[in-house]
Structure 1
Amino acid sequence: MLFRSIVDRGVGRRRQSVLPADPWFRYPLSSLLEGYQCVRHDEHISYGNLGDSVPPFGLAFSSAGNMQNVLAAANEEGIVRIYNTESRKDPLLKEWLAHENAVFDIAWVPGEPHVVTAAGDQMARLWDVKSGDLLGSFKGHLCSLKSVAFTPQEKAVFCTGARDGNIMVWDTRCSKKGII
């Protein structure tokens, strides 16, 4: 918002229609933004099994009332990590190997402490975040899954998208899938 208002007012460039006495021209954009920087303790690096940094592919914040500051991160090695983003001392709450392949996306069950992972092993999996227990597996795609999403109104229905070009709709209450 601050950045947008600065840009909209033309900081860092002169317009002929604006008088030079305009206070926005006294401060170049770079000097205004110098005070904004990342704080080291707010960085969370995604590490793999060997301790090397690996790219996080899926990131999602919880929508549960008491967990809105909780972030789920899934990475290239199939690891899911749950972070408390407001904790400075111990932000990592839980981690587990969710798949033996890259997890490309992750989604929270609306209002619940559960996540669904979409991975390169052609499966989606439902996890209990508090215990790390596997609650269900969903297989049907012919290629790696690239995305997962829940409908906001229904906690049991989600969809997955894969490299095979299909979108599948799943209902956790039954074992049947729907293909779109």
Structure 2
Amino acid sequence: MPEDCHQFSSPSLPFCTASCNTNTLVAIGDEDGSITLLESAKDGKPPFTQAHISFRTHSNAVMDLAFSSDDLLLSTASGDQTAHVIDMQTQRTKYVMAGHMSSVKQVCFQPNNDNVIATSSRDGTVQLWDLRCKGSEGAIQDLRIPLEPGLSSRGISDQHKVTYATVYNTIAGAHTDRQPLGTSQNAANTTRDVSLKGENPARRGDVSITALSFLPAGRSHLLLTASEASTCVKLWDIRSRPSRRGPAVAVSTTKQPDSHSRHRHFGINSIALSGDGARLYALSRDSTVYAYSTNHLILGTAPEFSATSSRHRYGSESKEGLGPLYGFRHPKFHATSFYVKMSLRKPVGDKPEMLAVGSSDGCPVLFPTDETFLKLARSDPRDDDEDATPASTPPTHRPAPEDPQAASPPPA
């Protein structure tokens, strides 16, 4: 419908979106570093076709957005290597998180604690910030863009003081391959890294962290991360500090899908947790959304899942979790770019939970997460091709690795 479409007046491409938790506003970040708020309610004022408010807070593209639980703060991740925390009542930057050495890809608040923020970057690190910690004072310049007709489109420059937040924990090289030098896998990574034109030589060995998410309240000391390198999801205990004796070690790492181990690896674009926290969904570059059981992220005893247990030590050995239970596919769903993302709609009233997935073809696809809709489907013989990646079965049956099956939603 025309009234459901917003046409941006500037040529800047929208890169990311985030919905408010307490109202119907939606924030959109673009490649110019600006943020636009739209009213998504059907009879809202102003209508969706018009911007509610717009302001510029970064000098480079806004890669990710996240609202605090009360929507009073908006955290942003940007290609200018910083993340900001914006006071939404004034649309001014309140905190600057400047610690990464490359583009900041993701940002998220810890559940039930809007003072703790996690950021991930193309430099391969995950950084944890606590806004309650004392930081340094500095100045920053924001650009406010008036929306009223007749006013200057150049905006109003607004310089004010901000707090530069302090990192209290860093996970360096979270998904970097730890294999010894000289292995075939390391050689392949080196070839890929050298081919990245314009990349800072100091950053060529880094593996970009493309997705991160805290587990729900009660387990929010656990952080999930995924990368461009493989379809492995890692689980970290943020209460632990890295050991000086060696690199950080995750609490656990999920297995690769069987077909990825046989053929080649695909990275993960984004991850999302179901409303009840029982399922983890990972959007892979093989054009599949894989579903994991949260309780299967660690095999055997898992004291880290208890909020009252002793913290995991990074120097200890990483445990192994299970691979995906099943996967979602559709003929019109193609994730050929890391800009293809996914979002989960929580159940409201008579509306069930749904996964909304973008596509490189410009055709969004909706998947129902209710597992009663899943049906068994034998994998296609073409899955033996190099680029084929069959999903596993629904949780009612786990086949042997030699007998992969796929689950797909019913036809519309």
Helix, strand or coil: the match of 2:59? coil
Residue 130 of structure 1: which of 63, 77, 89 is its match? 89
Q: Percent identity?
A: 28
Contact 1:101 1:121 in 2 (8 A): yes
Return the letter of the residue paired with 1:79.
S
What amino acid is the match of 2:2?
R
Q: Are 1:100 and 2:62 counterparts? A: no
- CA deviation after TM superposition for structure 1 residue 103, in Å: 0.6
Q: 5+ unaligned residues in a row in structure 1: which ranges?
A: 1-38
CA contact (8 A) 1:115 1:129 kept: yes
- For residues 95 and 113 of structure 1, what CA distance do their matches in structure 2 show? 16
Task: Answer 1 or 2: higher relative contact order, Cα 8 Å, separation at least 6.
Answer: 1
TM-fit CA distance, 1:89 = 4.1
- 1:85: how far off? 0.9
- SS of structure 2 residue aligned to 1:44: coil
Where do residues 20-169 of structure 1 align in structure 2 (5 Å cutoff)?
39-47=1-9, 51-52=10-11, 54-64=12-22, 67=23, 69-86=24-41, 87=44, 89-91=46-48, 92-169=51-128
CA deviation after TM superposition for structure 1 residue 137, in Å: 0.5
The one-letter amino acid of 2:20's match is S
Pair 1:89–1:63, CA change in 2 (3 A)? closer
Structure 1: distance between partners of 2:125 and 2:63: 16
Q: Is the 8 A contact 2:71 2:88 kept in 1?
A: no
Counterpart residue type for residue 83 of structure 1: L
In the other structure, the counterpart of 1:179 is 170
Structure 2: stretches of 5+ with no match in the other structure: 136-165, 172-412
Give the match's secondary structure for 1:155.
strand
**Matched residue pairs, number?**
135
TM-score (norm 2): 0.32
- Return closer, same or farther for 1:142/1:44 CA change in 2, 3 Å cut-off: same
Alignment check: 8 A CA contact 1:159 1:169 kept: yes
Compared CA separation, residues 142 and 71, structure 1 to 2 (3 A): same
Q: Deviations over 1:62-110 (max 9, x none)?
A: 113xx2x111110111000111111264442211111011110010011
Root mean square deviation, CA, Å: 1.5
